[in-house]
Structure 1
């Protein structure tokens, strides 16, 4: 892997313009380079993120917050001319977070982003966006976001592995995903994907209503789980199933607090929006 070091966090507007212009698949090979950038943690931005996602005040960053710090670097990679797939239309299937140490006392981090693991899928092809965050002591946090690009044809057997649906869970809490949560989350994350902003912009991409960001669903769930989860080191897996249409009422069901467990986010009519697991890093 060849690493390119960025001088500063990427400026997002030109990257969104690139994303809008690229609408076709241009290849079937992931770029052999990754991007590296030093980012700073702004306490005011963290506070705004906590408010939108429901996290309580804490000296520790939320487990999902490094995704926010890395978003511009991820966008830079995914809109690079060497990247073969159009960003708009990619489907976020699942996410894995590995928190190696508590996210306390963090003022700046080195963020690394690259893509790997291109595989055939029944509906196209999947790949992983791999993001790591390091401080002066070494690896602190890492995540793998599995993405689906429809219409890609690769040789080999197509697979579609899935997390099991949780069975030993009970209701923990409920909340409403309001109609404006996509816009509110976009303001704290920088992620202005049209499918999340309004019914009008979502319809341009085949959705009858705007849908909540998958990472907002994840963050809101982790905020509600709170002390249910053990401290680092911990691994968190989530799989996105049916999107949360806005506005919607959802219910979070979880197993008992402990070193490992699982949860389920459900909507009206027993719709399964998301399943998740947590476990110690071994």
Structure 2
């Protein structure tokens, strides 16, 4: 498995240009046989950028990074991986199914973590093919945070393939959130994820949505921020979310969570509690 090492985080301008090029490549394209691992030995944390991320997601200020922030640090390497000629799928149109973060200890805001990103072998899904992009964040040579992002490339799938889903919890709302139409653009500025489906009504309609939709990782971050503000987010944990129905912007949504022992179930629903946008489960370590 080849490894590419960087001295600095790759720039988004060139990454998005490569992403568009990779999406337009010919249908009979044959990728390289071996997967690719990307490594960034040192990632500097911009404190102004961190402050903007806290502002859009709701995480309170503090001496440690928000639990989802390392995903933002790793995201340029995700784009680099999926736009590389060795990557077997067209990056635009890939569907984010779920995300699992394991935090062994909080990361200090002035840390300079090392980041390693690679993908797993593909596996069948009723709607195509799924694979995982794995991110590992290390401080002083110790892995302290990992992220498993499960993605779907749509194609003729295997109807008999097993689909791993979190169970639907029975939750009453603990908060109502009014989400403005510019939320996708605000989160894009803070995260670097400028997928057109999140930005404007017209750009989202080009991909089949009636209007722009919220980022799945914004929804996960906002949920964990609400749990942290309630004093229920431990220092060490694993937390998985499944992304169900797209969250159209603007909208009003219900958020609910319920701790039971070391497990906290949470979910994000539409205003009528009829559609489920996100289901999550957190397990304290």
TM-score normalised over the length of structure 1: 0.93
SS at match of 1:40: coil
Does the 8 Å CA contact 1:229/1:257 hold for their aligned counterparts? no
Taking a change above 3 Å as real, the CA distance of residues 30 and 255 of structure 1, as seen in their structure-2 partners, is farther
Q: Which runs of 4+ in 1 moved over 4 A?
A: 27-31
Which residue of the other structure, out of 78, 81, 88, is the alignment partner of 1:84? 88
Task: Please show how residues 193-204 of structure 1 align to structure 2 within 5 Å.
Answer: 193-204=195-206
Deviations 1:181-239 (A, max 9, x none): 11011111111100000010011111111000000011111111114534222000000
Task: Please show how residues 152-163 of structure 1 align to structure 2 within 5 Å.
Answer: 157-163=160-166
**Cα shift at 1:118:** 0.9
SS at match of 2:113: strand
Could you tell me which runs of 5 or more consecutive residues in structure 2 were left unpaired when the two chains were aligned: none
Deviations 1:129-155 (A, max 9, x none): 00010010501100000000001668x
Look up the match of 1:62. Answer: 66
Answer yes or no: is 1:170 the counterpart of 2:172.
yes
2:128 and 2:109 mapped to 1: Cα distance? Answer: 42
Which residue of the other structure, out of 181, 184, 190, is the alignment partner of 1:179? 181
1:181 and 1:56 mapped to 2: Cα distance? Answer: 18
SS at match of 2:282: strand
Taking a change above 3 Å as real, the CA distance of residues 198 and 180 of structure 1, as seen in their structure-2 partners, is same
Look up the match of 2:121. Answer: 117
Answer yes or no: is 1:102 the counterpart of 2:103.
no
1:153 and 1:254 mapped to 2: Cα distance? Answer: 34
Look up the match of 1:245. Answer: 248
Deviations 1:14-40 (A, max 9, x none): 221122222355458874220001211
Look up the match of 1:236. Answer: 239
2:31 and 2:226 mapped to 1: Cα distance? Answer: 40
Does the 8 Å CA contact 1:30/1:83 hold for their aligned counterparts? no
SS at match of 1:171: coil
1:170 and 1:66 mapped to 2: Cα distance? Answer: 30
**Cα shift at 1:280:** 2.6
How many residues in Structure 1 have an aligned counterpart in Structure 2? 279
TM-score normalised over the length of structure 2: 0.92
Does the 8 Å CA contact 1:230/1:259 hold for their aligned counterparts? no
